[in-house]
Structure 1
Amino acid sequence: MKRLIKITLVLAISLIAFGTYAQDATHAVGSVHHFKVNVDTDGTTHLADHVGNTYTWAVYKSDGTTAAASGTDYSFTGSSTGVDVNNVDIQWLTEGTFFVEVSEANGAGACTTLRRMEIAVSAGAIDLAVIASDNAGTQILGAALTDCNDSSGAIIDNATSNFGNSTRYFTVSMSTDGQAWTSGAWGFDFSTLAGATVTTATAGVTIGATTITVPTATSSVTFKVEVANTPGPTPANDITLGFVTSNAYITTGAGNTNEGAGNLANNTPDQFVITASPNTSVIVID
């Protein structure tokens, strides 16, 4: 009976040591966060009585004992071990629960102290946003969204009756945890008015029939959408032009992580209204 009690106590202590950490913070897939210890009240200066000590930072999976996979679960964006390395930047690459641990050894290297905190990593903060904009990416709102077609006031050739095209712009950006996403590729599905052409001046962006992929180091892209004018009575011949996105994702070392359902409201921007010009007939002579 006494032996059973001892075993039970050992198990309980083990659970307390390894399984009952309070969750210290929630971060997002793709986000970068700065961890530090032994800093002065200014938040940056290494405390004098710790200078010369050796630090080793590590990341563990939710069981607290299995090392997380660098390049798949997380990555250090700088040095993670060495003398006076009392701070480190960590980028999270996949969802899950992780422990960030730091070991500090004194100058002689004989004695160490371990500190550990629990981080929940969620995909919920991945956020693709679309706005109606000008060609510089500045948002257009309200009454400015409605304007004459681009051929309004131009001379229409009598022989061809070509009323030309109108061009409008939409800017799409990707962020995670409020940070612009530049550490990997990203993409999304899109739809716009039938017959419209979509292009961009941003290098490396791949535009398919219904999909767009954006390369690493680019967090925002402005797209040019061009559509043929439809002359005739207004508003019947006005053009309503939108740019709807869906299935947005970012790419990390762990693969693709999709935008969560809670962040879809800004995937559909305001629409432009392109006002039609009269379909004036060719000039005839009696």
Structure 2
Amino acid sequence: MANSVFLLFLGLYLISLIGNLSIIIAIWLDKRLHIPMYFFLSSLAFLDIWFISSTVPKLLTILAYNNKIISMSGCILQLYFYVSLGTIEFYLLAVMSVDRYVAISHPLRYRLIITNKVCLWILLLSWVLGFITFIYPTVLMFGLSFCGPYEINHFFCDSSAVVKISCSDTRQFDMVFASFASAVILGSFCLTLISYCNILFTILMIPSTKGKIKAFSTCTSHFTVVSLVYGSAIFIYVRPVESSSPNLNKIVALLNSVMTPVLNPFIYTLRNKQVQQVFREIRKKLVPNKSSLLK
């Protein structure tokens, strides 16, 4: 059983790494993809590599060697990187939804509004703010006392699991962490929802039925991932700690921390016809056809 679970997570991890790395390489090799939309997608791909790597490698170690030991400082740092990278993803999803709104609703002014310079500044701000946001809650956690039993009921150091093994008064930490998490998740979700509502309204105004179906197809797949990310995060973090079920939290956390980085490359980028064309051209350069080899 443990071997099959190990192979499952190893397979998902490798799929995520290969998919996201392929996107980054394709975008940076082809100058036709050096536009804001693909800069956002390459940043999301880079983020997903680190996001899934913040939890899955340790999980694989546990499954392979039954090594369940992690230092307290290592545990808190894992939590910090997990929530920080997750925060950056929320910021990026909100920014990307606004980018798509501008592209669909104001196509003639898109390149004037979202320039490469503006795109790079937005990306830099998203990453910096993402790593800054949860510094204070992390400092508060370092101030907690832990007096055993030192056993976390989770597959990584999630905040709800860590505070349960603390013998300190965790009310201040719970309030601060929940406030920060709610502000990040609900704030970015509202911006994303407003953008998609405006996109939907614009799509309904398209006179061509074929154009509507194409636009709906793209937006539906994007909104599926957005719903998965925000739905799982709201379920785990925007609720009172007392009402949470540890086992249910673990299942939902798997969707958020593992499945999202696996699905993002396929839904956001690999279905894109322009990206597919770039991959075909790269493949032709790397693998010459038989007729050229016979000459």
TM-score normalised by structure 2 residue count? 0.20
Whose RCO is larger (CA < 8 A, sep 6+)?
2
Higher helix share: 2
Look at both structures and tell me which one has the larger radius of gyration over its CA atoms: 1
TM-score normalised by structure 1 residue count? 0.21
Higher strand share: 1
